[in-house]
Amino acid sequence: ATTLGASAAEQGRFFGTAVAAGKLGDSAYTTILNREFNQVTPENEMKIDATEPQRGQFSYGNADRIVQHARSQGMQVRGHTLAWHSQQPGWMQSLSGSTLRSAMLNHVTQVASHFRGQVTWWDVVNEAFADGSSGARRDSNLQRTGNDWIEAAFRAADAADPNAKLCYNDYNTDNWTAAKTQGVYRMVQDFKQRGVPIDCVGFQAHFTGGSNYPSNFRTTLSSFAALGVDVHITELDIRNAPSDAYRNTTNDCLAVPRCTGITVWGIRDSDSWRSGESPLLFNSSGGKKAAYDAVLAAL
Ligand code: XIL
């Protein structure tokens, strides 16, 4: 096939992108979006500060616009994200303890219920593990409500939208031997053993390229898949967009049957949160870069 999404679809996979609601009126942007991708992740519009800016007052306009666009184009939606230490509204940042736990669970329930039937996968919890050598949870207001906050969030999401696939998503979990990767692996293993509802694990893959490419990434993906979850590359971007690193990432996913899709974190370099690093598949004029050709050829 001649586009990323169509090539991925031939293998029962998705190839998606992060989308910003504010750009849906940019025809150069939507032309590429509609042509190339069969999955979208709202870049910011489903985060806690966007969907519940005041406690108990929910705001879905921008997220709904992205979902409507996606559905009109036959694209699947990844919801991002129900519980996270970052991009919390001020009211949530100031809560703690059982009050915060209840507010978090209410948020999960309300948002997952609003999008019930429209979101294929939810990043239920994002970035809950610490960097470095500990392999432990990241300290946060949510973590301080008790170590079971993650499974509580997954159970609430499952109750609100039983058909959605529920994912854990993180970064720096690509290298199989890293303590952080092992910490997440043990949590997923524990959840599967105890019947906590988890269906998938997302690997953000915000890479720096060059010799930093995680050469055992394929081992990581296959090891998690062997626990009985799907795995996804969820926020792919690579400093300076080297073709070899994009090709390797694509091949590593395709080598793992349960790696069912790849999402890049934006369309054009000018759309990227790392725009100074030109890390995406399309240049700022919307032209295909060498990395695009490498990915399409690998798919
Ligand atoms: C980023 C967005 O791209 C930016 O627009 C925003 O200012 C900050 O968040 N990990 C994640 C994403 O899970 O939600 C982040 O997205 C990038 C890192």
Q: Please report the ipTM that was assigned to this predicted complex.
A: 0.99
Question: Known catalytic residues?
Answer: 235
275 within ligand 1 shell (Cβ under 6 A): no
**Per-residue confidence (pLDDT) for residue 211, from 0 to 100:** 87
**Per-residue confidence (pLDDT) for residue 210, from 0 to 100:** 85
Atom of ligand 1 minimally distant from the CA of 80: 14
263 within ligand 1 shell (Cβ under 6 A): no
**Per-residue confidence (pLDDT) for residue 151, from 0 to 100:** 99
For residue 44, report the distance from its CA to the centre of ligand 1, in Å. 7
For residue 135, report the distance from its CA to the centre of ligand 1, in Å. 23
Buried b (16+ CB within 10 A) or exposed e, 44-75: bbbbbbbbbeeeeeeebebbbbbbebbeeeeb
Instruction: List the Cα angle 176/180/134 in 5-degree steps.
Output: 130
62 within ligand 1 shell (Cβ under 6 A): no
**Per-residue confidence (pLDDT) for residue 59, from 0 to 100:** 98
pLDDT averaged per 10 residues, the chain (length 299): 98 98 98 99 99 98 98 98 98 98 99 98 99 98 98 99 98 98 99 99 96 95 98 98 98 98 98 97 98 98
